[in-house]
């Protein structure tokens, strides 16, 4: 994927992945991403936290040989944080591209994590980039930046815990193609936990069973049950020498809830699951 100029692509070398990120497909999401990328259609990933959205994007970036610029959106994220701003140095002012402008200028995947958290003045910047125009107006610099052919826009959000005031506007939604993510099937999830956490498959299977038990409390006191990421954390603590109950309390039961009743139930679940 070396574009027109090797020197240009070089600009984003720091954002290239050094090694292949492990990713276990749970369905046809790899083919779906490749198809969207071939047509340069923007992609929206929906799913609960810790189910593998970010890892999937990293894996695809590595597979396509593209740099990946990830931006974690938050409520103070402004247009300037995305597009860029003027800075001052000894010579005077100079323009510093923001991460979105960098990806658009030099070609790469720009991944905006939890897009709905961003302020509306930031998200509206994406509109001309996400449709057929593929341009980013840099108002402060007086530049209309045409996106590099390798530029690909990927955003994610978790529909589960957004309040009434949050949500994507139709004008944003309808520019994207979308994939739904969920926790993988038990067998696949156990393989992931074993691989990522460095525990044997039997222990990974028992951790996944515990994870599924906590997910039954979703909508019954928990906003979300234990994510795959949490199960991997438990496995890592096990590998570091903690006993299973201690590892699961630390990595799963205690972080999940502050509610005294739910916490007591979760502790009971951990104790029942491991001798």
Partner 1 sequence: MPVLLEGRAATASLPSYFRAVWDMAPQLAPLQPAPGEADVPPRPILSGHDPRVLHLPLHAGFAQNELWHQAAASHAAAHWRFGGPSIPRGKLKPVQQALLGVLEDARVEWWALQQLPGLRELWLSFHAGPGAAQGNGFDALLGRLARTLLDPTHADPHPWVAKARAVFFAADGCTPALQTSEAVRRAASLLGADIGQMRLPFNVRSYRVHAAYRDDNSHLWQDDADLPSSDTPLEGGQGASAEPDEAAAPPMVLPASPRPADAGPAQDTETPVAVYREWDHVIGRYRPAWCQVFSPALAEGSGVELMAAVPRRLMRALAGLQGAAVRSGGRVREGDDLHFGALVDMRIALHLRQPPDPRIYRRVLRPAPPLAVLLLMDASASTARRMRAGGATLLDEVRDAARETSQALQALGHRSALWAFASDGRHRIDMPCLKPWDEPAHAPAVARRMAALQSAGSTRLGTVLRHAVTLAAADAARHPGWRRVIVLVTDGESHDIDVHHPAYLPADLRRAADEARRRGMAVRALILPPGDPKALAQSLGAGNCAALRHVAALPRRLPALLAG
CB of 115 to partner 1, least distance (A): 17
53 to 95, 99, 161: CA distances (angstroms): 32, 20, 16
In angstroms, rounded to a whole number, what is the distance separating the alpha carbons of residues 56 and 244? 28
C-alpha Rg value of the chain to the nearest Å: 21
> Going residue by residue from 126 to 165, which x/- string records binding to partner 1, judged by CB under 8 A?
--------------x--------------------xxxxx
- Neighbouring CB atoms inside 10 A of 213's CB total 18
Among the candidate windows 12-20, 103-111, 125-133, 265-273, which touches partner 1 by CB under 8 A?
A: 265-273
22-81 residues near partner 1, rule: CB under 8 A: 76, 78-80
One residue of 13, 90, 94, 132 binding partner 1 per CB under 8 A: 90
* C-beta closer to partner 1: residue 120 or 132: 120
In degrees and rounded to multiples of 5, residue 46 shows phi and psi of -110, 145
Contact yes or no for 66/108 (Cβ under 8 A): yes
Listed in sequence order, the residues at least 6 apart from 18 whose beta carbon sits closer than 8 Å to its beta carbon are none
202-261 residues near partner 1, rule: CB under 8 A: 209, 213-214, 216-217, 220-221, 223, 245, 260-261
3-state secondary structure string, 69-120?
EEEECCCCCCHHHHHEEEEEECCEEEEEECHHHHHHHHCCEEEEECHHHCCH
* C-beta closer to partner 1: residue 18 or 165: 165
* C-beta closer to partner 1: residue 6 or 92: 92
266 lines the binding site for partner 1 (CB under 8 A): yes
* C-beta closer to partner 1: residue 36 or 83: 83
How many residues of this chain bind partner 1 (CB under 8 A)? 41
Q: Which residues bind partner 1 (CB under 8 A)?
A: 76, 78-80, 85-86, 88, 90, 93, 119, 140, 161-166, 209, 213-214, 216-217, 220-221, 223, 245, 260-266, 268-275
């Amino acid at each position: 994927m070396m574009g027109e100029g090797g020197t240009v692509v070089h600009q984003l070398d720091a954002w290239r992945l050094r090694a292949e990120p492990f990713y276990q497909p749970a369905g046809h999401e790899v083919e779906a991403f490749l198809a969207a990328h071939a047509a340069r259609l923007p992609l929206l990933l929906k799913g609960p936290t810790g189910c593998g959205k970010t890892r999937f994007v990293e894996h695809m970036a590595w597979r396509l040989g593209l740099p990946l610029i990830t931006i974690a959106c938050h409520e103070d994220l402004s247009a300037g944080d995305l597009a860029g701003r003027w800075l001052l140095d000894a010579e005077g002012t100079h323009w510093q591209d923001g991460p979105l402008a960098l990806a658009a200028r030099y070609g790469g995947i720009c991944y905006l994590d939890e897009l709905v958290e961003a302020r509306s003045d930031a998200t509206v910047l994406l509109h001309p980039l996400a449709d057929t125009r593929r341009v980013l107006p840099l108002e402060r610099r007086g530049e209309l930046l045409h996106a590099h052919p390798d530029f690909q826009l990927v955003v994610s959000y978790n529909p589960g815990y957004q309040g009434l005031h949050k949500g994507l506007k139709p004008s944003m939604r309808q520019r994207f193609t979308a994939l739904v993510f969920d926790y993988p099937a038990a067998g696949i999830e156990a393989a992931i936990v074993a691989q990522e956490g460095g525990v044997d498959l039997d222990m990974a299977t028992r951790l996944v069973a515990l994870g599924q038990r906590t997910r039954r409390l979703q909508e019954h006191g928990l906003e979300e049950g234990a994510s795959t990421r949490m199960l991997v954390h438990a496995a890592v603590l096990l590998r570091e020498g903690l006993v299973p109950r201690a590892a699961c309390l630390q990595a799963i039961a205690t972080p999940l809830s502050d509610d005294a009743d739910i916490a007591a139930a979760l502790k009971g679940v951990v104790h029942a699951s491991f001798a």
